[in-house]
């Protein structure tokens, strides 16, 4: 049996998700038509060996309680939220809560980041781990463009870019190390967790000498704070004991993308829609089923009302209670609960917050530069409306972020409206 932990962080982070994270913690924001961490949970559930999943973060318990219960209800696994007393880093919480996590004496720990979108081939990963490295840590790795690699943990293996023993690990390095990167999913021997504080100590001693990481801007004197990447993974690689392996995502049907910003939520959603098209086409809308014009991959909640003359898609999620009026056009967007899109409005590359209203003949759009694989905050401009934003009719909004409850009567371009 195995236990799983999903790292979900907390409010001090997730700044790139504003203003949406003001109303809903980022791990629960809909991506591919489901709360972000639903996809992690679903992959864990389908393994069949995971009985319990812990969400580790530093959100207030009250904020998450109902959301966690709702997200967990359809899975036959116990899902428990554990709040860190302070931000303990990506590995500190594992040490702090180890008695709780490992009470059932599990054979392995599956650790996943909450802020990634992926096909999560966990069966293959776990199998690879048990066959090659059962007493160590196995990282799921993926390839990214060379120009994106420095924003991730970079991995060098025996066979350079293929699965195998890790020779070198550098977290967000300054120079080019490798375009094989850490995808934020791991299988870990639970016995190793008690040694994490020693790894941290080791890392401190050698870090002046051997590490090519960017200078750690956030070394804190909190001794409970442990960074999984720098303190544990780098140390394991440097110790050269052969306990660190990487399993590389390489199947045609696999995908991976980081989901940090609101713009990336649109790209990550598209990845999931395309994946559904192959795996679960019944989740997607069709013109026949939904009685409106559907283009490409779209998810429409059964309680949403889309006028027969509206055209929706490609790459759209329409949430519960939303209304799309006659002649409206929506593509590459996320339309949240109870939004009203009035007649002939046009929405493209936008996220429309809960209960917002878009006036007739209005145009709300972003112009992202989605040519590269991994989203970049500073380049990928999508328009984002917080909750309860209303536009009058015939208003044009482009590349802008609008905070909750604003009324827009005039055109807006390249602005952040507070
Ligand atoms: N519980 C908890 N406590 N979770 C945390 C904490 C913490 O103190 N700090 C971060 N997290 C969570 C975040 O919510 C996110 O899900 C995950 O841990 C990693 O977030 P970051 O620490 O912001 O790192 P990153 O995303 O920039 O880079 C990491 O992920 C990349 C893949 O997406 C690194 O592991 C990279 O090496 C990796 O390539
Ligand atoms: P999230 O959106 O939840 O990730 O929160 P955040 O905006 O606080 O992001 P994060 O802490 O991941 O990174 C903040 C900034 O610091 C980003 O621009 C990163 O590229 C940069 N950064 C990340 N790691 C390092 C590092 O090791 N050294 C330096 N100098 N900068 C880093």
Closest ligand by atom to 376 CA:
2
Q: Tell me the two tokens of residue 205.
A: 């001693």
E strand residue ranges, 202-277:
244-248, 256-258
Contact 398, 413 (CB under 8 A): yes
If one counts every other C-beta atom within 10 angstroms of the C-beta of residue 99, the result is: 7
Distance 230 CA to ligand 2 centre (A): 14
Whole-number pLDDT of residue 215:
54
Backbone angles phi, psi at 8, to 5 degrees: -120, 0
With a 6 Å cutoff on the Cβ, whether 376 touches ligand 2 is no
Whole-number pLDDT of residue 109:
98
Whole-number pLDDT of residue 16:
77
Measured CA distances, 32 to 130, 174, 351, 405 (Å): 31, 33, 13, 26
Atom of ligand 1 nearest to the CA of 93: 1
Name residue 187's beta-bridge partners.
Answer: 110, 138
Contact 378, 395 (CB under 8 A): no
pLDDT in tens, 169-189: 999 999 899 999 999 999 999
Whole-number pLDDT of residue 11:
79
pLDDT in tens, 214-228: 555 455 557 789 999
Residues 305, 30, 331, 261: is their CA dihedral positive or negative? positive
Distance of CA 224 to the CA centre of its chain: 25
With a 6 Å cutoff on the Cβ, whether 14 touches ligand 2 is yes
Residues of the chain with pLDDT below 70 are 12-14, 208-221, 372
Whole-number pLDDT of residue 220:
53
Instruction: Tell whether omega for the bond before 266 is within 30 degrees of 0, i.e. cis.
Output: no
CA atoms within 13 A of residue 195's CA, in its CB half-sphere? 16
Whole-number pLDDT of residue 45:
98
Atom of ligand 2 nearest to the CA of 9: 3
Atom of ligand 1 nearest to the CA of 113: 16
Query: Tokens 């999560």 belong to which residue?
Result: 120
Backbone angles phi, psi at 339, to 5 degrees: -75, 145
- The percentage of residues in the chain with a pLDDT greater than 70, rounded to a whole number, is 95
Residues 276, 277, 278, 279: is their CA dihedral positive or negative? positive
Q: What is the ipTM of this complex?
A: 0.85
Cα dihedral 200→216→243→107 (10° resolution): 70
Distance 10 CA to ligand 1 centre (A): 11
- Those residues with Cβ within 8 angstroms of residue 416's Cβ, 6 or more apart along the chain or in another chain: 400, 401, 403
Atom of ligand 1 nearest to the CA of 26: 14
Scored b (16 or more CB within 10 A) or e, 299-308 reads bbbeebebbe
If one counts every other C-beta atom within 10 angstroms of the C-beta of residue 373, the result is: 15
């Amino acid at each position: 049996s195995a236990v799983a932990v999903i790292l979900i962080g907390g409010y001090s982070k997730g700044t790139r998700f504003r203003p949406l994270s003001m109303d809903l913690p980022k791990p629960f924001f809909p991506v591919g038509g489901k709360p972000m961490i639903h996809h992690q949970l679903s992959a864990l559930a389908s393994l069949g060996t995971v009985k319990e999943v812990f969400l580790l973060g530093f959100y207030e318990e009250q904020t998450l309680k109902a959301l966690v219960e709702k997200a967990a209800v359809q899975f036959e696994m116990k899902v428990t939220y554990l709040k860190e007393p302070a931000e303990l880093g990506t590995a500190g919480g594992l040490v702090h809560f180890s008695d709780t996590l490992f009470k059932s004496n599990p054979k392995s720990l599956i650790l996943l980041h909450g802020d990634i979108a992926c096909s999560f081939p966990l069966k293959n990963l776990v199998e690879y781990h048990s066959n090659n490295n059962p007493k160590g840590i196995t990282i799921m790795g993926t390839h990214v463009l060379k120009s994106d690699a420095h924003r991730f943990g970079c991995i060098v293996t025996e066979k350079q870019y293929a699965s195998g023993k890790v020779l070198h690990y550098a977290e967000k390095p300054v120079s080019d190390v490798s375009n094989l990167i850490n995808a934020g999913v791991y299988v870990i021997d639970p016995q190793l967790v008690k040694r994490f504080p020693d790894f941290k100590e080791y890392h401190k001693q050698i870090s002046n000498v051997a590490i090519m990481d960017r200078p750690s801007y956030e070394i804190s004197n909190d001794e409970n704070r442990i960074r999984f990447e720098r303190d544990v993974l780098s140390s394991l690689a440097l110790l050269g004991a052969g306990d660190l392996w990487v399993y590389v995502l390489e199947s045609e049907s696999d995908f991976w993308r980081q989901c940090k910003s609101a713009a990336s939520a649109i790209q990550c959603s598209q990845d999931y829609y395309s994946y559904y098209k192959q795996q679960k086409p019944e989740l997607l809308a069709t013109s026949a089923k939904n009685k409106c014009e559907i283009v490409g991959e779209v998810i429409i909640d059964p309680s949403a009302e889309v006028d027969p003359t509206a055209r929706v898609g490609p790459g759209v999620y329409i949430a519960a209670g939303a209304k799309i009026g006659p002649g409206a056009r929506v593509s590459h967007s996320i339309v949240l609960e109870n939004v009203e899109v009035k007649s002939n409005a046009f929405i493209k590359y936008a996220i429309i917050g809960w209960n917002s209203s878009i006036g007739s003949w209005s145009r709300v759009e972003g112009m992202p530069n989605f040519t590269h694989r991994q989203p970049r905050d500073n380049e990928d401009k999508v328009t984002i409306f917080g909750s309860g934003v209303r536009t009058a009719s015939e208003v044009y909004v482009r590349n802008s972020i609008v905070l909750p409850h604003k009324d827009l009567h005039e055109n807006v371009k390249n602005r952040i409206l507070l």
